[in-house]
Amino acid sequence: MTTLSKPFLEIPRRNAEERPVEERIRDYNKTAKEMTQEQVVEQAKRCMNCGVPFCHNYGCPLLNVIPEINHAVSRGQWHKALDLLLDTSPFPEFTGIVCPALCEGSCVNGKDGDSVTNREIEHRVIETGYENGWVRPNLPLVRTNKRVAVIGSGPSGLSCAEYLNRAGINVTVYEVAEHVGGFMRYGIPDFRLPKTVVERRVELMKAAGVRFEMNVRIGKDISPEYLLRGNDAIVLCCGSRAPRDLKVPGRELSGIHFAVDYLTQQNRINGGEIFEFDETKCAKDKHVVVIGGGDTGANCIGTAIRQGAADVMQIEIMPNAPMKRAADNPWPEWPRIFKESASHKEGCSRKWNINTLEAIGENGKVKALRCSEIEWLRGEDGRMYNVPKKDGEFILQADLVLLAMGFVGHAIPEIVSAFNLRTDERGCIFRDSTGMTSAKGVYIAGDCATGQSLVVRAITDGKHVANGIIRTLLN
Ligand SMILES: Cc1cc2nc3c(=O)[nH]c(=O)nc-3n(C[C@H](O)[C@H](O)[C@H](O)COP(=O)(O)OP(=O)(O)OC[C@H]3O[C@@H](n4cnc5c(N)ncnc54)[C@H](O)[C@@H]3O)c2cc1C
Ligand code: SF4
Protein backbone atom coordinates (compact mmCIF):
# COMPACT_ATOMS: atom_id res chain seq x y z
CA MET A 1 0.00 0.00 0.00
CA THR A 2 1.38 3.42 -0.91
CA THR A 3 1.40 6.10 1.77
CA LEU A 4 -0.20 9.35 0.73
CA SER A 5 1.64 12.48 1.82
CA LYS A 6 -1.36 14.79 1.61
CA PRO A 7 -4.42 12.54 1.63
CA PHE A 8 -6.77 15.56 1.92
CA LEU A 9 -5.61 16.57 -1.58
CA GLU A 10 -5.60 13.11 -3.04
CA ILE A 11 -8.69 11.38 -1.65
CA PRO A 12 -12.03 12.88 -2.72
CA ARG A 13 -14.84 13.26 -0.18
CA ARG A 14 -17.27 10.41 -0.36
CA ASN A 15 -20.78 10.49 1.13
CA ALA A 16 -22.91 7.51 2.08
CA GLU A 17 -24.85 6.33 -0.95
CA GLU A 18 -28.63 6.34 -0.97
CA ARG A 19 -30.88 3.43 -1.87
CA PRO A 20 -32.41 3.82 -5.37
CA VAL A 21 -35.43 6.14 -5.35
CA GLU A 22 -37.84 3.60 -6.87
CA GLU A 23 -36.93 1.12 -4.12
CA ARG A 24 -36.90 3.40 -1.09
CA ILE A 25 -40.20 5.19 -1.71
CA ARG A 26 -41.96 1.84 -1.23
CA ASP A 27 -40.95 1.56 2.41
CA TYR A 28 -39.94 3.60 5.47
CA ASN A 29 -36.53 1.99 5.90
CA LYS A 30 -33.43 4.13 6.12
CA THR A 31 -32.64 5.94 2.89
CA ALA A 32 -28.88 6.13 3.41
CA LYS A 33 -26.77 3.01 2.85
CA GLU A 34 -24.00 2.06 5.26
CA MET A 35 -20.44 2.89 4.30
CA THR A 36 -17.94 0.08 4.79
CA GLN A 37 -15.20 0.33 7.41
CA GLU A 38 -12.62 0.51 4.61
CA GLN A 39 -14.41 3.46 3.00
CA VAL A 40 -14.62 5.25 6.34
CA VAL A 41 -10.94 4.65 7.13
CA GLU A 42 -10.12 6.19 3.74
CA GLN A 43 -12.29 9.22 4.52
CA ALA A 44 -10.76 9.67 7.98
CA LYS A 45 -7.36 10.02 6.32
CA ARG A 46 -8.61 13.26 4.75
CA CYS A 47 -8.55 14.93 8.19
CA MET A 48 -5.59 17.31 8.35
CA ASN A 49 -5.27 17.21 12.15
CA CYS A 50 -5.29 21.02 12.18
CA GLY A 51 -3.43 22.93 14.88
CA VAL A 52 -6.63 24.83 15.66
CA PRO A 53 -9.46 22.36 15.00
CA PHE A 54 -12.51 24.56 14.40
CA CYS A 55 -14.62 21.42 13.95
CA HIS A 56 -13.97 20.55 17.60
CA ASN A 57 -13.95 23.89 19.39
CA TYR A 58 -16.27 25.95 17.18
CA GLY A 59 -18.51 23.60 15.19
CA CYS A 60 -19.48 20.73 17.46
CA PRO A 61 -21.63 21.77 20.44
CA LEU A 62 -20.53 18.61 22.29
CA LEU A 63 -16.86 19.46 21.71
CA ASN A 64 -16.18 16.03 20.23
CA VAL A 65 -12.41 15.67 19.68
CA ILE A 66 -12.87 15.11 15.98
CA PRO A 67 -9.23 15.19 14.75
CA GLU A 68 -8.22 12.63 17.40
CA ILE A 69 -11.19 10.40 16.53
CA ASN A 70 -10.41 10.68 12.82
CA HIS A 71 -6.74 9.90 13.45
CA ALA A 72 -7.63 6.74 15.38
CA VAL A 73 -10.05 5.65 12.65
CA SER A 74 -7.48 6.33 9.92
CA ARG A 75 -5.24 3.80 11.68
CA GLY A 76 -8.05 1.28 12.15
CA GLN A 77 -8.13 1.84 15.94
CA TRP A 78 -11.89 1.56 16.29
CA HIS A 79 -12.03 0.91 20.03
CA LYS A 80 -9.83 3.93 20.75
CA ALA A 81 -11.98 6.07 18.46
CA LEU A 82 -15.10 4.89 20.30
CA ASP A 83 -13.61 5.73 23.70
CA LEU A 84 -12.69 9.22 22.49
CA LEU A 85 -16.17 9.74 21.06
CA LEU A 86 -18.03 8.51 24.14
CA ASP A 87 -15.91 10.75 26.34
CA THR A 88 -17.90 13.78 25.18
CA SER A 89 -20.99 12.39 23.44
CA PRO A 90 -23.57 10.23 25.22
CA PHE A 91 -25.51 9.20 22.09
CA PRO A 92 -23.38 9.35 18.91
CA GLU A 93 -25.79 6.90 17.30
CA PHE A 94 -28.38 9.74 17.12
CA THR A 95 -26.09 12.54 15.97
CA GLY A 96 -24.19 10.20 13.63
CA ILE A 97 -27.44 10.04 11.62
CA VAL A 98 -29.44 13.24 12.13
CA CYS A 99 -26.89 15.93 13.00
CA PRO A 100 -26.54 18.48 10.21
CA ALA A 101 -22.82 18.12 10.97
CA LEU A 102 -22.11 21.60 12.26
CA CYS A 103 -18.47 20.48 12.56
CA GLU A 104 -18.23 19.94 8.82
CA GLY A 105 -19.32 23.54 8.24
CA SER A 106 -16.18 24.70 10.05
CA CYS A 107 -13.77 22.04 8.73
CA VAL A 108 -10.61 23.67 7.34
CA ASN A 109 -10.75 21.26 4.39
CA GLY A 110 -14.14 22.73 3.55
CA LYS A 111 -12.76 26.25 3.24
CA ASP A 112 -11.69 25.77 -0.36
CA GLY A 113 -12.75 22.19 -0.96
CA ASP A 114 -14.86 19.44 0.56
CA SER A 115 -14.98 19.04 4.34
CA VAL A 116 -14.17 15.74 6.03
CA THR A 117 -17.22 13.54 6.38
CA ASN A 118 -17.12 13.60 10.19
CA ARG A 119 -20.72 12.55 10.72
CA GLU A 120 -20.32 9.36 8.66
CA ILE A 121 -17.13 8.57 10.59
CA GLU A 122 -18.95 9.12 13.89
CA HIS A 123 -21.78 6.87 12.72
CA ARG A 124 -19.41 4.05 11.76
CA VAL A 125 -17.43 4.35 15.01
CA ILE A 126 -20.51 3.93 17.23
CA GLU A 127 -22.03 1.20 15.04
CA THR A 128 -18.72 -0.69 15.14
CA GLY A 129 -18.91 -0.34 18.91
CA TYR A 130 -22.40 -1.87 18.99
CA GLU A 131 -21.47 -4.63 16.52
CA ASN A 132 -18.57 -5.67 18.76
CA GLY A 133 -20.46 -5.42 22.05
CA TRP A 134 -18.27 -2.53 23.24
CA VAL A 135 -21.19 -0.21 24.01
CA ARG A 136 -22.31 -1.14 27.51
CA PRO A 137 -24.72 0.33 30.09
CA ASN A 138 -23.00 3.13 32.01
CA LEU A 139 -23.46 1.90 35.56
CA PRO A 140 -22.64 4.35 38.36
CA LEU A 141 -19.69 3.54 40.60
CA VAL A 142 -21.73 4.47 43.69
CA ARG A 143 -25.53 4.78 44.06
CA THR A 144 -26.59 7.79 46.14
CA ASN A 145 -29.93 8.45 47.86
CA LYS A 146 -30.68 11.50 45.66
CA ARG A 147 -33.68 11.43 43.31
CA VAL A 148 -34.37 13.48 40.20
CA ALA A 149 -37.46 13.48 37.96
CA VAL A 150 -36.84 14.27 34.29
CA ILE A 151 -39.96 15.41 32.41
CA GLY A 152 -39.78 14.51 28.71
CA SER A 153 -37.81 11.80 26.93
CA GLY A 154 -36.49 13.72 23.92
CA PRO A 155 -32.72 14.00 23.40
CA SER A 156 -32.32 16.61 26.15
CA GLY A 157 -34.21 14.51 28.72
CA LEU A 158 -32.32 11.35 27.76
CA SER A 159 -28.96 13.10 27.94
CA CYS A 160 -29.76 14.67 31.31
CA ALA A 161 -31.01 11.33 32.69
CA GLU A 162 -27.93 9.50 31.39
CA TYR A 163 -25.43 11.82 33.11
CA LEU A 164 -27.40 12.05 36.37
CA ASN A 165 -27.61 8.28 36.54
CA ARG A 166 -23.89 7.89 35.82
CA ALA A 167 -23.30 10.07 38.90
CA GLY A 168 -25.36 7.68 41.03
CA ILE A 169 -28.52 9.79 41.19
CA ASN A 170 -31.81 7.85 40.99
CA VAL A 171 -33.59 9.10 37.87
CA THR A 172 -37.14 8.62 36.65
CA VAL A 173 -38.07 9.94 33.21
CA TYR A 174 -41.76 10.83 32.83
CA GLU A 175 -43.14 10.95 29.28
CA VAL A 176 -46.64 11.70 28.04
CA ALA A 177 -46.20 9.71 24.82
CA GLU A 178 -46.30 5.95 24.37
CA HIS A 179 -42.66 5.72 23.29
CA VAL A 180 -39.38 7.36 24.29
CA GLY A 181 -37.59 9.83 22.01
CA GLY A 182 -39.53 13.12 21.67
CA PHE A 183 -39.17 14.50 18.16
CA MET A 184 -36.60 11.80 17.36
CA ARG A 185 -39.48 9.35 17.70
CA TYR A 186 -42.51 11.34 16.51
CA GLY A 187 -41.06 14.07 14.27
CA ILE A 188 -38.11 12.70 12.32
CA PRO A 189 -39.36 9.97 9.95
CA ASP A 190 -38.10 6.38 10.10
CA PHE A 191 -36.50 6.66 6.66
CA ARG A 192 -34.06 9.11 8.26
CA LEU A 193 -33.75 7.79 11.82
CA PRO A 194 -34.90 4.19 12.42
CA LYS A 195 -36.57 4.01 15.82
CA THR A 196 -34.63 0.85 16.72
CA VAL A 197 -31.64 3.19 17.14
CA VAL A 198 -33.47 5.04 19.93
CA GLU A 199 -34.87 1.86 21.48
CA ARG A 200 -31.43 0.22 21.60
CA ARG A 201 -30.08 3.12 23.68
CA VAL A 202 -33.12 3.17 25.97
CA GLU A 203 -32.55 -0.51 26.80
CA LEU A 204 -28.97 0.32 27.84
CA MET A 205 -30.20 3.19 30.00
CA LYS A 206 -32.76 0.92 31.69
CA ALA A 207 -30.03 -1.67 32.32
CA ALA A 208 -27.97 1.10 33.95
CA GLY A 209 -30.85 1.93 36.32
CA VAL A 210 -32.82 4.77 34.67
CA ARG A 211 -36.57 4.33 35.12
CA PHE A 212 -39.10 5.35 32.45
CA GLU A 213 -42.76 6.10 33.19
CA MET A 214 -44.67 6.37 29.93
CA ASN A 215 -48.14 7.81 29.13
CA VAL A 216 -47.87 10.27 32.04
CA ARG A 217 -48.54 13.98 31.55
CA ILE A 218 -46.90 16.06 34.25
CA GLY A 219 -49.23 18.85 35.28
CA LYS A 220 -52.28 16.66 34.63
CA ASP A 221 -51.73 13.02 35.69
CA ILE A 222 -49.06 13.92 38.25
CA SER A 223 -48.96 17.28 40.03
CA PRO A 224 -45.79 19.38 40.34
CA GLU A 225 -46.24 19.35 44.14
CA TYR A 226 -46.18 15.55 44.23
CA LEU A 227 -43.01 15.47 42.12
CA LEU A 228 -41.31 18.16 44.20
CA ARG A 229 -42.09 16.28 47.43
CA GLY A 230 -40.57 13.03 46.16
CA ASN A 231 -37.47 14.37 44.40
CA ASP A 232 -34.39 16.48 45.13
CA ALA A 233 -34.73 18.16 41.73
CA ILE A 234 -36.96 18.21 38.66
CA VAL A 235 -35.73 18.82 35.12
CA LEU A 236 -38.20 20.06 32.53
CA CYS A 237 -37.20 18.72 29.10
CA CYS A 238 -40.60 19.16 27.48
CA GLY A 239 -39.54 20.53 24.09
CA SER A 240 -40.81 23.53 22.19
CA ARG A 241 -44.09 22.62 20.63
CA ALA A 242 -45.96 25.67 19.30
CA PRO A 243 -45.78 25.59 15.48
CA ARG A 244 -46.02 28.86 13.52
CA ASP A 245 -49.50 29.13 12.01
CA LEU A 246 -50.67 30.36 8.61
CA LYS A 247 -52.85 33.41 9.17
CA VAL A 248 -54.87 33.53 5.93
CA PRO A 249 -58.57 33.26 5.06
CA GLY A 250 -59.58 29.61 4.72
CA ARG A 251 -57.09 28.35 7.33
CA GLU A 252 -59.95 26.53 9.11
CA LEU A 253 -60.60 24.23 6.11
CA SER A 254 -60.15 20.50 6.57
CA GLY A 255 -56.91 19.16 5.07
CA ILE A 256 -54.60 21.87 6.42
CA HIS A 257 -52.30 20.48 9.10
CA PHE A 258 -49.19 21.32 11.02
CA ALA A 259 -46.24 19.30 9.69
CA VAL A 260 -45.49 17.80 13.10
CA ASP A 261 -49.05 16.46 13.50
CA TYR A 262 -48.84 14.95 10.04
CA LEU A 263 -45.41 13.36 10.62
CA THR A 264 -46.46 12.10 14.05
CA GLN A 265 -49.38 10.15 12.61
CA GLN A 266 -47.14 8.28 10.16
CA ASN A 267 -44.51 7.64 12.84
CA ARG A 268 -47.19 6.23 15.13
CA ILE A 269 -48.42 3.91 12.37
CA ASN A 270 -44.86 2.75 11.70
CA GLY A 271 -44.39 2.20 15.44
CA GLY A 272 -47.47 -0.06 15.57
CA GLU A 273 -49.43 2.24 17.88
CA ILE A 274 -53.20 1.74 17.99
CA PHE A 275 -55.14 4.98 17.54
CA GLU A 276 -57.88 6.51 15.43
CA PHE A 277 -56.41 7.09 11.96
CA ASP A 278 -57.13 10.55 10.53
CA GLU A 279 -57.57 10.21 6.77
CA THR A 280 -57.24 13.98 6.30
CA LYS A 281 -53.60 13.58 7.42
CA CYS A 282 -52.79 11.06 4.68
CA ALA A 283 -51.41 12.11 1.27
CA LYS A 284 -52.59 9.15 -0.81
CA ASP A 285 -53.68 10.32 -4.29
CA LYS A 286 -53.68 13.94 -3.11
CA HIS A 287 -52.09 17.10 -4.44
CA VAL A 288 -49.84 18.05 -1.55
CA VAL A 289 -48.42 21.50 -0.86
CA VAL A 290 -45.78 21.87 1.84
CA ILE A 291 -45.41 25.45 3.07
CA GLY A 292 -41.91 25.98 4.42
CA GLY A 293 -38.62 25.16 2.75
CA GLY A 294 -36.69 23.70 5.70
CA ASP A 295 -35.86 20.21 6.91
CA THR A 296 -39.26 19.59 8.48
CA GLY A 297 -40.79 20.40 5.10
CA ALA A 298 -38.40 17.93 3.47
CA ASN A 299 -39.50 15.24 5.94
CA CYS A 300 -43.12 15.91 4.90
CA ILE A 301 -42.18 15.53 1.22
CA GLY A 302 -40.55 12.12 1.77
CA THR A 303 -43.52 10.96 3.85
CA ALA A 304 -46.12 12.21 1.34
CA ILE A 305 -44.32 10.46 -1.51
CA ARG A 306 -44.25 7.19 0.45
CA GLN A 307 -47.97 7.55 1.21
CA GLY A 308 -48.66 7.74 -2.54
CA ALA A 309 -49.29 11.46 -3.13
CA ALA A 310 -50.40 12.45 -6.65
CA ASP A 311 -47.82 15.25 -6.58
CA VAL A 312 -45.91 17.33 -4.05
CA MET A 313 -45.00 21.01 -4.20
CA GLN A 314 -42.87 22.83 -1.62
CA ILE A 315 -43.15 26.60 -1.39
CA GLU A 316 -40.96 28.94 0.60
CA ILE A 317 -41.44 32.64 1.29
CA MET A 318 -37.70 33.39 1.39
CA PRO A 319 -35.38 33.47 -1.66
CA ASN A 320 -33.41 30.38 -2.56
CA ALA A 321 -30.03 30.18 -0.79
CA PRO A 322 -26.91 30.73 -2.93
CA MET A 323 -24.86 27.77 -4.21
CA LYS A 324 -21.75 29.14 -2.48
CA ARG A 325 -21.23 31.07 0.75
CA ALA A 326 -22.23 34.73 0.48
CA ALA A 327 -19.74 37.41 1.56
CA ASP A 328 -21.61 37.93 4.84
CA ASN A 329 -21.41 34.20 5.63
CA PRO A 330 -17.67 33.49 5.79
CA TRP A 331 -15.99 30.25 6.87
CA PRO A 332 -16.00 28.89 9.64
CA GLU A 333 -19.64 29.96 10.10
CA TRP A 334 -22.32 27.42 9.28
CA PRO A 335 -22.77 27.73 5.49
CA ARG A 336 -26.19 29.07 4.53
CA ILE A 337 -26.20 27.56 1.05
CA PHE A 338 -28.62 25.68 -1.21
CA LYS A 339 -29.48 22.24 0.10
CA GLU A 340 -31.23 19.34 -1.52
CA SER A 341 -32.26 16.52 0.79
CA ALA A 342 -32.79 12.88 -0.16
CA SER A 343 -36.56 13.54 -0.06
CA HIS A 344 -36.30 16.29 -2.67
CA LYS A 345 -34.73 13.80 -5.07
CA GLU A 346 -37.75 11.51 -4.71
CA GLY A 347 -39.92 13.70 -6.90
CA CYS A 348 -41.24 17.09 -5.84
CA SER A 349 -41.33 20.62 -7.22
CA ARG A 350 -39.95 23.60 -5.31
CA LYS A 351 -40.67 27.32 -5.52
CA TRP A 352 -39.10 30.19 -3.61
CA ASN A 353 -40.29 33.78 -3.00
CA ILE A 354 -43.90 32.61 -2.67
CA ASN A 355 -46.43 34.07 -0.26
CA THR A 356 -49.68 32.25 0.53
CA LEU A 357 -52.69 34.57 0.42
CA GLU A 358 -55.71 32.31 0.85
CA ALA A 359 -56.83 28.71 1.18
CA ILE A 360 -59.74 27.95 -1.15
CA GLY A 361 -62.18 25.20 -0.21
CA GLU A 362 -65.12 23.14 -1.38
CA ASN A 363 -67.54 21.51 1.09
CA GLY A 364 -65.29 22.49 3.96
CA LYS A 365 -62.21 20.82 2.45
CA VAL A 366 -59.17 22.60 1.08
CA LYS A 367 -58.91 22.42 -2.72
CA ALA A 368 -56.37 25.06 -3.66
CA LEU A 369 -54.11 27.84 -2.43
CA ARG A 370 -54.04 31.35 -3.83
CA CYS A 371 -50.41 32.41 -3.84
CA SER A 372 -48.33 35.32 -4.97
CA GLU A 373 -44.78 35.64 -6.21
CA ILE A 374 -42.97 38.24 -4.16
CA GLU A 375 -39.82 40.34 -4.25
CA TRP A 376 -37.62 41.11 -1.27
CA LEU A 377 -36.52 44.73 -0.85
CA ARG A 378 -34.41 46.45 1.77
CA GLY A 379 -36.16 49.35 3.53
CA GLU A 380 -34.58 52.59 4.69
CA ASP A 381 -34.34 51.13 8.20
CA GLY A 382 -32.12 48.36 6.75
CA ARG A 383 -34.75 45.65 7.26
CA MET A 384 -35.99 43.35 4.51
CA TYR A 385 -39.65 43.38 3.53
CA ASN A 386 -41.54 41.76 0.68
CA VAL A 387 -43.88 43.12 -1.98
CA PRO A 388 -46.10 41.14 -4.37
CA LYS A 389 -44.83 40.90 -7.94
CA LYS A 390 -47.02 42.50 -10.60
CA ASP A 391 -49.28 39.80 -12.15
CA GLY A 392 -47.60 37.33 -9.80
CA GLU A 393 -50.74 35.71 -8.41
CA PHE A 394 -51.45 32.07 -9.17
CA ILE A 395 -53.51 29.13 -7.91
CA LEU A 396 -51.98 25.88 -6.64
CA GLN A 397 -54.14 22.78 -6.56
CA ALA A 398 -53.97 21.38 -3.02
CA ASP A 399 -56.02 18.84 -1.11
CA LEU A 400 -53.44 18.43 1.63
CA VAL A 401 -51.55 21.47 2.93
CA LEU A 402 -48.74 20.95 5.44
CA LEU A 403 -47.49 23.87 7.49
CA ALA A 404 -43.76 23.55 8.14
CA MET A 405 -42.95 27.16 8.97
CA GLY A 406 -41.00 26.67 12.15
CA PHE A 407 -41.96 27.10 15.79
CA VAL A 408 -42.80 30.12 17.91
CA GLY A 409 -41.88 30.74 21.53
CA HIS A 410 -39.96 28.48 23.82
CA ALA A 411 -42.02 27.52 26.78
CA ILE A 412 -45.04 25.26 27.01
CA PRO A 413 -47.68 27.47 28.74
CA GLU A 414 -49.14 24.63 30.84
CA ILE A 415 -45.69 23.84 32.24
CA VAL A 416 -44.95 27.51 32.95
CA SER A 417 -48.15 27.91 34.93
CA ALA A 418 -47.99 24.47 36.62
CA PHE A 419 -44.55 25.26 38.06
CA ASN A 420 -45.15 29.02 38.34
CA LEU A 421 -42.00 29.84 36.34
CA ARG A 422 -40.66 33.30 35.59
CA THR A 423 -40.47 34.12 31.88
CA ASP A 424 -39.11 37.13 30.03
CA GLU A 425 -41.03 39.38 27.63
CA ARG A 426 -40.34 36.93 24.76
CA GLY A 427 -41.78 34.01 26.70
CA CYS A 428 -38.41 32.37 27.44
CA ILE A 429 -38.22 30.64 30.81
CA PHE A 430 -35.61 32.25 33.05
CA ARG A 431 -32.77 29.94 34.18
CA ASP A 432 -29.41 30.48 35.86
CA SER A 433 -26.03 29.12 34.79
CA THR A 434 -26.77 25.71 36.34
CA GLY A 435 -30.06 25.49 34.45
CA MET A 436 -32.27 26.21 37.52
CA THR A 437 -35.46 28.21 36.92
CA SER A 438 -37.02 30.74 39.27
CA ALA A 439 -38.59 27.79 41.14
CA LYS A 440 -36.12 26.24 43.58
CA GLY A 441 -35.02 22.76 42.51
CA VAL A 442 -36.78 23.02 39.13
CA TYR A 443 -34.36 22.95 36.18
CA ILE A 444 -34.97 23.26 32.46
CA ALA A 445 -33.10 21.89 29.43
CA GLY A 446 -33.35 21.46 25.67
CA ASP A 447 -35.75 23.12 23.26
CA CYS A 448 -38.07 24.36 26.02
CA ALA A 449 -35.15 26.43 27.31
CA THR A 450 -33.51 27.44 24.03
CA GLY A 451 -36.35 27.33 21.50
CA GLN A 452 -36.53 24.81 18.64
CA SER A 453 -33.03 23.70 17.81
CA LEU A 454 -31.16 20.52 16.99
CA VAL A 455 -30.72 17.09 18.51
CA VAL A 456 -27.02 17.77 19.17
CA ARG A 457 -27.80 21.03 20.97
CA ALA A 458 -30.55 19.39 23.05
CA ILE A 459 -28.13 16.61 24.06
CA THR A 460 -25.46 19.19 24.95
CA ASP A 461 -27.90 21.23 27.01
CA GLY A 462 -29.18 18.15 28.85
CA LYS A 463 -25.59 17.26 29.72
CA HIS A 464 -24.83 20.81 30.89
CA VAL A 465 -27.88 20.93 33.17
CA ALA A 466 -27.15 17.44 34.55
CA ASN A 467 -23.70 18.69 35.51
CA GLY A 468 -25.26 21.72 37.23
CA ILE A 469 -27.56 19.44 39.26
CA ILE A 470 -24.73 17.04 40.11
CA ARG A 471 -22.62 19.96 41.40
CA THR A 472 -25.53 21.18 43.52
CA LEU A 473 -26.75 17.86 44.91
CA LEU A 474 -23.54 15.94 45.41
CA ASN A 475 -21.12 18.57 46.72
C1 LIG B 1 -40.05 17.15 12.06
C2 LIG B 1 -38.77 17.47 12.77
C3 LIG B 1 -37.57 17.06 12.23
C4 LIG B 1 -36.38 17.35 12.86
N5 LIG B 1 -35.22 16.92 12.28
C6 LIG B 1 -34.05 17.14 12.92
C7 LIG B 1 -32.84 16.66 12.37
O8 LIG B 1 -32.81 16.04 11.31
N9 LIG B 1 -31.69 16.90 13.05
C10 LIG B 1 -31.68 17.57 14.22
O11 LIG B 1 -30.60 17.74 14.80
N12 LIG B 1 -32.81 18.07 14.76
C13 LIG B 1 -34.00 17.85 14.14
N14 LIG B 1 -35.16 18.35 14.67
C15 LIG B 1 -35.10 19.11 15.93
C16 LIG B 1 -34.93 18.16 17.13
O17 LIG B 1 -35.71 17.02 16.96
C18 LIG B 1 -35.27 18.87 18.41
O19 LIG B 1 -34.48 20.03 18.51
C20 LIG B 1 -35.01 17.98 19.63
O21 LIG B 1 -35.76 16.80 19.55
C22 LIG B 1 -35.33 18.73 20.92
O23 LIG B 1 -35.14 17.88 21.99
P24 LIG B 1 -35.88 18.11 23.38
O25 LIG B 1 -35.50 16.96 24.24
O26 LIG B 1 -35.60 19.47 23.89
O27 LIG B 1 -37.45 18.09 23.07
P28 LIG B 1 -38.38 17.04 22.32
O29 LIG B 1 -37.63 16.15 21.41
O30 LIG B 1 -39.47 17.86 21.74
O31 LIG B 1 -38.95 16.14 23.52
C32 LIG B 1 -39.80 16.68 24.50
C33 LIG B 1 -40.56 15.53 25.16
O34 LIG B 1 -41.29 16.01 26.29
C35 LIG B 1 -42.55 15.36 26.33
N36 LIG B 1 -43.45 16.19 27.14
C37 LIG B 1 -43.88 17.46 26.88
N38 LIG B 1 -44.69 17.90 27.86
C39 LIG B 1 -44.79 16.89 28.77
C40 LIG B 1 -45.48 16.73 30.02
N41 LIG B 1 -46.26 17.69 30.52
N42 LIG B 1 -45.36 15.55 30.68
C43 LIG B 1 -44.58 14.54 30.19
N44 LIG B 1 -43.90 14.64 29.01
C45 LIG B 1 -43.99 15.80 28.31
C46 LIG B 1 -42.93 15.27 24.87
O47 LIG B 1 -43.93 14.29 24.65
C48 LIG B 1 -41.58 14.90 24.23
O49 LIG B 1 -41.40 13.50 24.19
C50 LIG B 1 -36.38 18.08 14.07
C51 LIG B 1 -37.58 18.50 14.62
C52 LIG B 1 -38.77 18.20 13.99
C53 LIG B 1 -40.06 18.68 14.57
S1 SF4 C 1 -22.37 15.75 16.91
FE2 SF4 C 1 -22.69 16.81 14.93
S3 SF4 C 1 -21.29 18.58 15.05
FE4 SF4 C 1 -20.62 17.11 16.66
S5 SF4 C 1 -19.06 15.79 15.65
FE6 SF4 C 1 -21.04 14.75 15.41
S7 SF4 C 1 -21.76 15.40 13.40
FE8 SF4 C 1 -20.17 16.87 14.02
Q: How far apart are CA 278 and CA 281, in angstroms?
A: 6
Query: Residues 351-362: pLDDT tens digits?
Result: 999 999 999 999
Q: Which residue, among 90, 213, 83, 238, has the nearest Cα to 163 in the 3D structure?
A: 90
Give, in words, the CATH class of 7-131: mainly alpha
Mean pLDDT of all residues belonging to the chain: 96
The residue to mutate among 56, 58, 60, 107, having the most atoms of ligand 2 within 8 angstroms of its beta carbon, is 60
Q: Reply yes or no on whether the pLDDT at 413 is more than 90.
A: no
Q: Which residue, among 13, 26, 10, has the nearest Cα to 302 in the 3D structure?
A: 26
Query: Residues 42-94: pLDDT tens digits?
Result: 999 999 999 999 999 999 999 999 999 999 999 999 999 999 999 999 999 99
The residue to mutate among 163, 227, 238, 453, having the most atoms of ligand 1 within 8 angstroms of its beta carbon, is 238
Indicate if 256-403 has the same CATH topology as 7-131: no
Cα distance from N-terminal residue to C-terminal residue, the chain: 55
Rounded to the nearest whole angstrom, what is the distance from the C-alpha of residue 183 to the centroid of ligand 1? 4
| CATH architecture for segment(s) 256-403 | 3-Layer(bba) Sandwich (3.50)
Give, as one character, the DSSP assignment of residue 412. -
Q: With contact defined as beta carbons under 8 Å apart, do 145 and 231 qualify?
A: no
Nearest atom within ligand 1 for CA of residue 217: 42
Nearest atom within ligand 1 for CA of residue 156: 25
Sign of CA dihedral 409, 411, 416, 422: negative
Question: Phi/psi of residue 54, each to 5°?
Answer: -60, -30
Question: Which option is the CATH number for 147-241+411-474: 3.30.450.20, 3.50.50.60, 3.30.428.10, 1.10.287.3610?
Answer: 3.50.50.60
Q: With contact defined as beta carbons under 8 Å apart, do 382 and 360 qualify?
A: no
The domain locations on the chain are: 7-131, 147-241+411-474, 256-403
Paired with 442 in beta bridges are 234
Query: Residues 364-400: pLDDT tens digits?
Result: 999 999 999 999 999 999 999 999 999 999 999 999 9
Q: Which residue, among 344, 338, 260, 340, has the nearest Cα to 301 in the 3D structure?
A: 344
Pairing of strands 256-258, 233-236: unpaired
Q: Which residue, among 302, 306, 314, has the nearest Cα to 396 in the 3D structure?
A: 314
Q: Reply yes or no on whether the pLDDT at 411 is more than 50.
A: yes
Model confidence at 3, pLDDT cuts 50, 70, 90, reads: low
Q: Reply yes or no on whether the pLDDT at 2 is more than 60.
A: no
Stretch 439-447: mean pLDDT:
96
Say yes or no: CB of residue 170 within 6 Å of ligand 2: no
Query: Residues 253-292: pLDDT tens digits?
Result: 999 999 999 999 999 999 999 999 999 999 999 999 999 9
Say yes or no: CB of residue 95 within 6 Å of ligand 2: yes
pLDDT confidence of residue 1: 46
Q: Collapse the DSSP code of 251 into the 3-class scheme (helix H, G, I; strand E, B; otherwise coil) and give the result.
A: coil
